Chains A and B, each alone.
Chain A
Amino acid sequence: MTTSMADRLLEVEDLRTHFRTPDGVVRAVDGVSFHIAAGETLAVVGESGCGKSVTSMSILRLIPEPPGKVTGRIMFRGRDLLSLSEREMRQIRGNEISMIFQEPMTSLNPVLTVGRQIRETLKLHQGLDDRAAEARAIEMLDLVHIPEARRRVKEYPHQLSGGMRQRVMIAMALACNPKLLIADEPTTALDVTIQAQILDLMRELKAKVGAAILLITHDLGVVAEMAKRIVVMYAGRKVEEARANDLFRTPRHPYTRGLLGAVPKLGSSLASDAPSRLAEIPGIVPNLKKPIIGCAFASRCTEATELCRKVAPPIEAKAPGHFVACHHAAREAVAA
């Protein structure tokens, strides 16, 4: 399914984020392209160091330059974010594009009340006065189902539990009605029962607010519950992109297949009383400080050939809406 260019809220083209370090250039993100339509949820998944968080930081222009260097194009509502001044960027951050981070304790200011932190964005971006901002802050806390919102706005982050803090983060992120919400591992630090509450809340609010969500996560369970479309990253590159159902049903890249096999599924090993083995991906991720020749996954791939070790596979449509960067992925008849 292709969206027409006009629907595309965000279009990332050939994004490269490199960092200069004493031991060489780290190619954290190396030529990644994707888009998000208005109101859509796109998940970017991958393991530590695959570049998924650097991608989201690059979109918000939060990469310090130097040592970082961001190139490519990031088109958001007709403007290339990479060409904007810092001043223009500040009007977008927290306003049209907002972000929820993994660790709600470190991303909230510990010495300010949560109400003050929500009011700050409202006063800055929406020009509300104190009284209107306070009313809106309470309204936002109500929206994220924080009980006794009127009392809670006066509390400090340490007085709230982890799940409550993440609710506050979400309230803050949604306060200015963003067009795009970037959620970087929003539930990773939370317990499962609290994670279930937060995912439920995010789904509910998405229906209410209508913002597009860029979900960054390593948790394929969370992805399956939240996203319509998925981008899989490995070693700074996009290796596969597909609709969620297609990706989980017919993963076409060997890395995606390995990843899905390695994730234990609840209830899948109950046939015997004894422990059961998980599928493994042998080896470890390549060092990003050295240029990777050929396919980044070749050293761990059971299907790798000489071609894979020499030539990086281009990302190609192998089925409608299903893009894969693998020399050996079968192409489906286009008529399908």
Chain B
Amino acid sequence: MSATTASRPLLEVNDLKKHFPIRAGFFSGITGYVYAVDGVSFSIARGETLSLVGESGCGKSTVGRTVLRLLEPTAGQVLLDGVRIDDLSPGRLRPLRRRMQVVFQDPFSSLNPRLKVRDILAEPITNFGLATSRSELDDRIADLLDKVRLPRDAMNRFPHEFSGGQRQRIGIARALAPGADLIICDEAVSALDVSVKAQIVNLLSDLQRELGLSLLFISHDLAIVEHLTHRVAVMYLGKIVEIADKRTLFSAPKHPYTEALLSAVPVPDPTAKRNRIILSGDVPSPIRPPPGCRFHTRCPRAFDRCRVEEPPLRAVGPGHVAACHLHDPRGLAQAA
């Protein structure tokens, strides 16, 4: 295992795959696979936010869960701080779990309704033996509540006494409790109302700056992503189709799917002119992904090569990769 260096990304994911077997019945064999994640690679630097965006069923949440080893990967590597964690035994993995935590979408179902906030936050701290005395534990909990801007008396209340936004603050405090440096936010603000959503988005960017956290922000909401991310990876049907820094991705996307996705976002301005690319049809099934480029069935610019040959992620600019034959210098002749 290589030594930790400051330049090394905190999280590296190489060719990650997660295929779910389909069984026709309890006793029958496997009849097929759902190719939920099918070869995904990215990295996240310390103190960086990478957003994973895409529509329902594109595999973005499965990536998050597989990185956390809440799901076992089918293939590929996951490195946390240079250490491979995809093949570690549960016992060896456990101490590393302290460093990567998750905030879920639904603040109603992801907190135990029978535990007081104090116990919810104490659990990760005591699990990892991070407090030696009762008073130290209390100090840590009080500090966590301060960090997420909740009053300290919240400690003695139950989750149901809080609003959705406050509950999400508790969820964030729980993720911070063991001193994690990587937090995976799986649609963490999607269930919240507009005014509360803005509060939580700001809290996450503040915490990231204060604590130097790395965030993997999984979301379908592109406008929110634009406001809190450094870099963006766009997923479609189990694959990453484009990765770029925020400004490049939002102002000069290269993949036709990214273009369509951005143009589909409703603009809160009645006078805005819209050049909308309306994609026809639906996302194909991940059980039988189309051959060639997975997007070719809906792509307005698909040509023959797209139907047979899968485009690899190619560099199209500094720190910018896209998986599209249109951006292959050799492919242009065929596109014309």
Contacts and interface: CB of A to CB of B under 8 A. Distances in A.
Max chain B CB contacts within 10 Å: which of A199, A223, A224?
Answer: A224
Given A270-B251, A284-B196, A263 B226 contact: no
Interface stretch (B17-25, B128-136, B267-275): B267-275
B224 A264 contact: yes
A196 B226 CA distance: 20
B56 interface: yes
A267 B226 contact: yes
A222 B194 CA distance: 14
A284 B226 contact: no
Interface residues of A, number: 51
B145 to A, nearest CB: 17
A281 B193 CA distance: 11
A196 B227 contact: no
Interface stretch (B66-74, B85-93, B200-208): B200-208
A266 interface: yes
Given A221-B266, A264-B224, A275-B49, A284 B163 contact: yes
A258 B194 CA distance: 10
Nearest to B262: A266
A218 B49 CA distance: 27
A255 to B, nearest CB: 9
A259 B278 CA distance: 28
Given A48-B193, A224-B266, A277-B202, A191 B56 contact: yes
Nearest to B222: A266
B260 interface: yes
Interface in A234-276: 244-245, 248-249, 258-260, 262-270, 273-276
A156 B163 CA distance: 38
Interface string B43-67: 0000001000001100000000000
Contacts of B245: 273
A276 B279 CA distance: 30
B268 A221 contact: yes
A197 B228 CA distance: 28
Interface in A195-251: 195-197, 199-200, 218-225, 244-245, 248-249
B294 interface: no
Given A47-B193, A193-B260, A220-B268, A275 B199 contact: no
A248 B272 CA distance: 11
A330 interface: no
B108 interface: no
Interface string B202-239: 10010010000000000010111011111000000000
A265 B166 contact: no
B261 interface: yes
A275 B208 contact: yes
A178 interface: no
Interface string B255-288: 0000011111111111110101011101100000
A88 B264 CA distance: 42
Nearest to A145: B280
Contacts of B268: 220-221, 223-224, 248, 260, 263, 265
Contacts of B31: none
Contacts of A194: 55, 282
Contacts of A195: 264, 266
B58 to A, nearest CB: 9
Given A223-B268, A260-B268, A275-B227, A164 B282 contact: yes
Contact of A264 (B56, B163, B227): B227
A237 B29 CA distance: 58
B251 A262 contact: no
A267 B274 CA distance: 13
B224 A267 contact: no
A267 B202 contact: no
A241 B89 CA distance: 61
A193 B198 CA distance: 24
A221 B265 contact: yes
Contacts of B55: 191-194
Given A197-B278, A267-B251, A262 B246 contact: no
Given A219-B266, A224-B266, A267-B250, A278 B279 contact: no
B205 A277 contact: yes
Given A248-B268, A280-B195, A163 B226 contact: no
Contacts of B279: 193, 196-197
29 contacts: A164-B282, A191-B220, A193-B264, A195-B264, A195-B266, A196-B276, A197-B279, A197-B280, A199-B266, A220-B268, A221-B267, A221-B268, A222-B266, A224-B266, A225-B270, A245-B271, A260-B268, A262-B198, A264-B227, A266-B222, A266-B226, A267-B226, A267-B251, A274-B230, A276-B227, A280-B198, A281-B198, A284-B165, A284-B166
- Top 7 A-B pairs ranked by shortest CB distance? A221-B266, A191-B55, A281-B195, A47-B193, A196-B264, A262-B198, A278-B198
Given A220-B268, A275-B208, 20 more contacts: A48-B164, A163-B282, A192-B55, A196-B263, A218-B194, A220-B194, A224-B272, A244-B270, A248-B268, A248-B271, A249-B271, A262-B195, A265-B268, A265-B269, A266-B267, A270-B226, A277-B227, A282-B199, A284-B163, A284-B196
Interface of B: 49, 55-56, 163-166, 193-199, 201-202, 205, 208, 220, 222-224, 226-230, 245-247, 250-251, 260-272, 274, 276, 278-280, 282-283
Interface of A: 47-48, 161-164, 191-197, 199-200, 218-225, 244-245, 248-249, 258-260, 262-270, 273-282, 284-285
